[in-house]
Every structure is written in structure tokens, then in C-alpha cells.
Amino acid sequence: MNSGRSARALHHLTLALAGVALTLAELPYLPWLPFGLIAYLVLILIAHTLRGGTVLPVWLANSIALLMAGGTWFFVMFRGNSDGWSAELPLSAALVPYLGPVLMVLLCLRLYRPRSQDDFWLLQGLGLLQIKLGCVLASGTLFALALLAYVVTAAATLAAGERERRGRSSAWVTGPLSQQPDWMPLGLRWGAAVASLTILLFLLTPRSDQPEWDPLSWFGMRQQRFGMSRIGFSEEIDLSRSGRLIPDESIAFWVESRDKLGQLTDQLTSDSRFRGVTLDRYEQGVWRSESAWMGGLFPARVRPTFRDLGPEAVQYRFCVPRRTGGLFLLDPLPYSEVPNQLPIRVVGGTRETGPYFFENGGTAIPIAFMGMMEYRYDQFTLPDQRRDRVQAPSFRESYVQRLLRGVPGLESWTRDLLLRSSLTSETLRRELAAYRGELAPIWWETMARTLCDHLAKSGEYGYSLQKTRSDPNLDPTIDFLWHVKNGPCERYASALALMLRSLGVPTRLIKGYVGAERQSTGLYLVRQSQAHAWVEALVPSATDPDGYDWLVLDPTPSSETPVSTLAKWWERQQRSGQEFWRELVVNYNHDQRARMLDRLASPEMLLSLVHFLLLLAVGAVAFWVVGIVLPRRRKSPALDGLTDLITRLRRCLTAPGRMVAVANTTPGEWAEQARYWLNEHGYASCAMIPMEIVRLYYRVRFGEQPADAAELREAVGRVATLEVALRRRLPTPVGKVQQA
């Protein structure tokens, strides 16, 4: 490819990628910007095709600039009357996202103005400003991919531009074109050097502040405005909202599991549950934690104490960043009849910080300390603890009555559903037929499991990340059960809880996480996308005739579908890329660096590093063979001969006392200068020889038309004739070399 054509293509491609990256970053703020991106890319493509042949009139450029200024003034003056997100922000913050389209318009204006020597750096500077603005506004992995593509093409663009500049300034004065460095090796050398230095500096200088970088919250923006929200933990459930849930693969917290000897061991599974908040109050489609609210002053009166479960206890250490929004425990948690004795111990806790949990309403309630960036605590459980039920401590009758508050209109429908179900026993059918507002507790567990299996396994209901409403006049849970019959886990948990409450079974919701990803022996991470909601129903105890148990129920249908091995591999790669971007780039801080060093020291990571280095070495050898060795072998001998002829011409014509070649010229321009000089100094008979040699060189190199031996011999003879003429200053007969 022509070096000028290659540099121009890379130049415009870099500008296009800058606009794409900025648009991806601006989407939450300016959802209409993709339409502007289409026009932006079309203008860049036209500019590349026309090669700078079109010049924008000055009056039109000034008119566009005035229009932009007027639009900015209009926004500043009338921003206060808007109900949009920007109306709630200071002017300086509200203007930040709107700088994106301004930069894109300015770049297009400069692209169509008369060309100058500084055009390259000016345009690339405007593209770099777009990338900088995108880095401020973005945190997603799509922007990361666009940023990576921009960095690669920008490095290649700078190398190609530098190679072209060197070729114009010195290729025909100090050496032939073939001796000038190609842009790709130049870009690789400089790119590798700069990347190594910047990566080292980045790893050595983590962020000093710990909170997660979330531009949407910094600029007062919420994604619910666009009908979308991310899967994650929250301390309430609002079933009246509609829209689609977006999976969030960021890390919620880490867990270490140790056996009774204190050694790291694998004990968590894909169905391990981590409870975060207990939701026991339902009102107008919203679940809240009334037990936490009523017990808000409880920790100040009674200080929770540590409960020792004995030498057989298994230890789980939690590391929860503040940005996750809550504290979590492995479910189920063994309770004691003594109030506020919990098998939970704060790691590094002081008298000022106090405990992280207290007991109220038969559950562990987390205490939020907003001043802490990260929470570390140990939880102890018994190895033989059942996961589907746990003994409930004694609590007040008022709390049980609170767990029976439901919605009217669901009792008869739930009873009819049980009567129609094939899972219902004949004895229970007779009890339901004689139902007068209360059933014996002996039937609570049977009804709970029957209704749970109906929602999860009957096939009448399906799992979906889309939250839909069919009849806004109905309660959201009733609307889901009767009409929608499709939705996320929180709707299934709410449906089961309210159905059981309508039949007199005390029930509550639990919001937390399900599943843990193993990183190394005994080390697990839990992602935001694993957030889940399930149900706890109060049923008679399986071991104590006078006691009760909390029965764990999950009515959500399975969302797993058969996928191929390739699809699973691709999903793992996506998660790894998202984890790398968020944890080691966007939110890289001192804790992340320490955690990264610990992982690098593990045997699994060392083995992976060896595999990566081997793969990198194989790729480098393949690149060297394909990119350097094979092109050298395919090099044309005719092109080497013509390059040597041009070198001979340059030396003989630029000898002392002869012509002086002008810098920054192409081979054709240099040959034209040589023709004028030869005509002016009495060598008219051989003035066309340099032009004929250069044309033949162009034909072989760029036109891919080979030259035969006769043409090369004739060209050598013509150059020798010119050399003799310059040496003797004698007229010579005119011959002719085949022209392109």
C-alpha cells in the first residue's frame, strides 16, 4: 500500500473510533447521540474519499459556530425549566456531557477547512479530547473495547505519519525509499515502550479513594429513567416498576472458607445462599424491612456478643466493599435462644466501630457504618447444618401477625389452585374444602412446598429479566399471578409469600445472593448478577414438637438453558474481561493492588502466567515469520535493481557543483526537478531519463506490473549514458525506456 494512502486511512480511522468511544460513554446522558454518530462517520468517510479536495466556505463554518454558541446559550438560560436530570445539577456538571457533540462538530468543521501543516496534530488532538471526555463519563466494558481499538489505531497512525514525514523530508536526499523504516515496526517499538512505562506507573499508583467510580451517580443520573436497572442488591423491592434488568458482572464481595483447623478449604457450592436483608412488610407493591426499622435503636441498648459454636465450627471470612450496599451472611444462620448471641466476629473491630449485626425478629439485622470503605468479619457455622431449614428462636406474637399481612382477593384463588394441583394430598383437599379462615400448622409446610413447586416446575410460569405490568389497577403481585406469569426472581418470591400469607402461613422475603465463583482454594467471589430473592416460611419444627423452623423456599423457575461448550467459554471470557476492566482499571485502588499481588503469588496464577508467556512467545514468532520473513522472501529482484538505479541517479545528479534536490518532495517531483535542471544546463537529450526510471519504479512497486530483464538492462544503460554525459558534458542520442 502507498505510504501516504496508508497514513491517511489510519488517520481517519482513528478519528472515527474516537467518536464511537465517546458515543458509547454518552449513551446514558444523550440517548440521541448515535444518530449524530452516523452523520459524524459519514462525514469522515467523505473526507477520506475526497482526500481534502473539498473546502468548507468560511461563512458556512462561522454560521455553524454561531449556531453552536446559540444552542449553548439557550441550554444555559432555559435549563432551570427542564424536568431532566441536568436541571438538578450545577451548571459546570450539567455541561460536561454536552461537550461531546460539540467536540464532534468542531472536528468535522476542521476536517473540511483548508489544509495546513498542523492539520494532523490538530485533528488528532480533537480526537484525543473526545477520548478523555469518554473516560470521565464511561465505566462499561463496551467503552473499554472501543478505547483499546482507538489506542492501537492511534499508535499506528502516529507511526505512519512519522514515516511519511521522514520519507518526504529525507528519502531522496539521504537515502532511497526502501531504506526508510516502515511504519509498523516503528509503531510497535514505540507502542511497546510507552505501554510498558504507562502500565508500570498505573500499577504503582492506585487510587487513594475507595468508592466505586460510577459516573451515573456522580452526575445525578439513574438508569431507571430509561426503563432499565442493573441486577444487584437493594434493601427493598418495588414491584410496581417496569423495565428490563441488565446483568451486572461486577464483584459484590469475597468469601474465604476455612475448616476447623483454620486451613483454606472448598466448602461453598453453586447453590450457597448469602442473606442480606429480611423483608417482612408488604404495602402497595413494595417490600421493606420493618424488623430492621423497629430495631433501629436496639444495638444501643443491648450490645451483641459472640457465640462460640465449639471446635467443630467452620469459619467464613467476608470482605464486603461499601459500594455493594449491605452486609451478608451465609444462610442459614444458627440462632440461639439467648437474644443477641450471634456466631459473628468483626475482623479488626474496635470499641468505636462495634458489631456489624444484631438480632431482631428472629433474624440477623446488619448495621451500616457509612464511614467504612470495606467491612471484614467472620461467620461460624456447623458442618452438619441443614441448608433448607433452621430452627427459629422464640419471638413476639406481634411479629408473627406482621408476617400474615397480605393483599385481599388472593385467598380464594390460592385455595382453588391447591385444589386443582395434582401435588395436593386427599387429606389436605378435605381440609381446604372445610377451610374457614385458618388451617392447622401441620399443613403449613405441605402447602408451602406445593405452591413453591407449582410456580417453579409447573411450566405455567417462566423466568425473564423483563419486568412487565398488564393491569396497573391490580396489585403488582396479583397482576403477575393472573396475567403476566413471567418475570424475575423477586416477583416469584413475592407471589409465594403472599399466597402463603393468604392461607395463614407466616412468611417473609430474603434478599441476598445465590452462588459463589471459586477463584482458588477456599477463595470465592460473588457477583452482582447473582443477586436473588427467596422465601422463608414459619413451619412446625422437624425435631421439637413445640418449636418452629424457618423453611427456605425458592419458587423461581430455572433460567438455565442448554448451551454449547463454545458459548460457555465465551461467557467466561466476557466475565473475565468485565472483571478485569472494573476491578483492575476503573476501580483500581490499594485494596485491589494487594488482592492482585496475592492472586499473582498463587500456584494457579503462576501456571496461568507461564501459559500466557508461552502463548505470547508463539504469537511473536508467528508474527515475525508472517510479517517480516515471508515479505522479504517475496521481495522482487526488479524492485531492488530499480531502487539501486534511483540511488545512482541521486548521487550523480547531487554531486558537488550539480543540482540541489529540494526536500519534502516525492520521487516524481524530484524527477521533474531533475528534468528542468538538465534542460537548463545543456543536457536536453537525456533530461527525461530520471522521469523514465521513476515511472518504471512506480509501475513495479505500486502497479504490481513486473519488469523483464530487457527493460532492466535498458534502464541500466540509460542511467550509464546519463552518468557519462554528466561526466563529459557531451550530447547523447535519445533512447526510450518503456513507460508505465
Question: Is 601 within a domain?
Answer: no
**Residue-averaged pLDDT of the chain:** 77
Asked whether residue 185 falls in the same domain as residue 301, the answer is no
Q: How far is the CA of 608 from the CAs of 375, 612, 704, in angstroms? A: 30, 6, 46
Residues, the chain: 740
Residue 216 in domain: no
Q: Is the pLDDT of residue 273 over 90?
A: yes
389 and 497 inside one domain = yes
Q: List the single range of 91-100, 451-460, 516-525 with lowest mean pLDDT.
A: 91-100
Residue 179 has pLDDT above 50, yes or no: no
User: 194 and 237 in one domain?
Assistant: no
Together in a domain, 548 and 652: no
The whole-angstrom separation of Cα 375 and Cα 321 is: 6
Q: How many other C-beta atoms can be found within 10 angstroms of the C-beta atom of residue 564? A: 8
pLDDT tens sequence across 459-487: 889 888 888 888 888 899 999 999 888 88
Q: How many domains does the chain have?
A: 3
Give domain status of residue 544, yes or no.
Answer: yes
User: What integer pLDDT is reported at residue 493 of this predicted model?
Assistant: 94
Please report which confidence band the pLDDT of residue 421 belongs to, taking 50, 70 and 90 as the band edges. confident
Q: How confident is the model at residue 739, as a pLDDT?
A: 41
Query: In this structure, are residues 143 and 7 in contact, taking their beta carbons and an 8 Å threshold?
Result: no
**Same-domain check for residues 320 and 392:** yes
Q: How is residue 332 written as a grid cell?
A: 442459614
Same domain? 552 vs 505: yes
pLDDT of residue 297: 40
Task: Return the pLDDT at 440.
Answer: 82
Q: Is the pLDDT of residue 180 over 50?
A: no
Q: Which of 461, 480, 460 is nearest to 472 (CA)?
A: 480
C-alpha cell at 675: 528534468
- Choosing from 560, 588, 617, the residue where a domain stops is 560
203 or 184, which is more confident?
203
Q: Answer whether residue 740 shows pLDDT above 70.
A: no
Task: Examine residue 707 and state whether it is found in any structural domain, yes or no.
Answer: yes
8 assigned to some structural domain: yes
Helix, strand or coil for residue 487? strand
Per-residue confidence (pLDDT) for residue 481, from 0 to 100: 92
Whether residue 150 sits in one domain with residue 294: no
Is there a domain that residue 49 lies in?
A: yes
pLDDT tens profile 363-386: 778 775 556 778 889 999 888 778
- Which of 506, 538, 560 delimits the end of a domain? 560
**Above 80 in pLDDT, residue 40?**
yes
pLDDT band at 673 (very low <50, low <70, confident <90, very high): confident
The answer on pLDDT for 664 being more than 60 is yes
**pLDDT of 677 higher than 90:** no
Q: Is 690 a residue whose pLDDT tops 80?
A: yes
Task: Using the predicted structure, report yes or no on whether residue 72 has a pLDDT greater than 60.
Answer: yes
Work out whether strand 273-279 and strand 329-331 pair parallel, antiparallel, or are unpaired: antiparallel
pLDDT classification of 497: cutoffs 50, 70, 90: very high
Checking if the pLDDT of 495 tops 90, the result is: yes
Region 595-619: mean pLDDT is: 71
282/173 same-domain check = no
Of 518, 541, 560, which marks where a domain is finished?
560
> Are residues 80 and 17 part of one domain?
yes
In a domain? residue 632: no
CATH code, domain carrying 643: 1.20.120
Cα 472 from Cα 41, distance rounded (Å): 43
Regarding whether 80 and 12 lie in a shared domain, the answer is yes
* Structural domain containing residue 654: 637-728
Cell of residue 730, nine digits: 557531451
Of 228 and 528, the structure prediction assigns the larger pLDDT to 528
| Among 468, 405, 461, 500, residue whose Cα is nearest residue 240 | 468
- Residue 528 above 90 pLDDT? no
CA-wise closest residue to 198 among 165, 163, 155, 236: 155
201 and 235 share one domain: no
Cα–Cα distance measured from residue 663 to residue 518, given in angstroms and rounded to the nearest whole number: 64
Q: What is the pLDDT of residues 283-306, one digit of tens each?
A: 888 998 876 554 444 444 456 778
Q: What HEC string does 165-221 produce? A: HHHHHHCCCCCCHHHCCCHHHHHHHHHHHHHHHHHHHHHHCCECCCCCCCHHHHCCC
Which pLDDT band, with edges at 50, 70 and 90, does 587 fall under?
Answer: low
Q: What percentage of residues in the chain have a pLDDT greater than 70?
A: 72
187: left (phi over 0), alpha (psi -120 to 50) or beta: alpha
Same domain, 317 and 444: yes
pLDDT tens digits, 193-229: 777 777 777 777 776 655 556 565 555 444 443 345 6
- The reply to whether 624 falls in a domain is no
What was the pLDDT predicted at 213? 61
- Per-residue cell: 556: 423461581
pLDDT of residue 626: 65
% the chain with pLDDT above 90:
13
210, three cell numbers:
475507595
Which pLDDT does position 175 carry in this prediction? 40
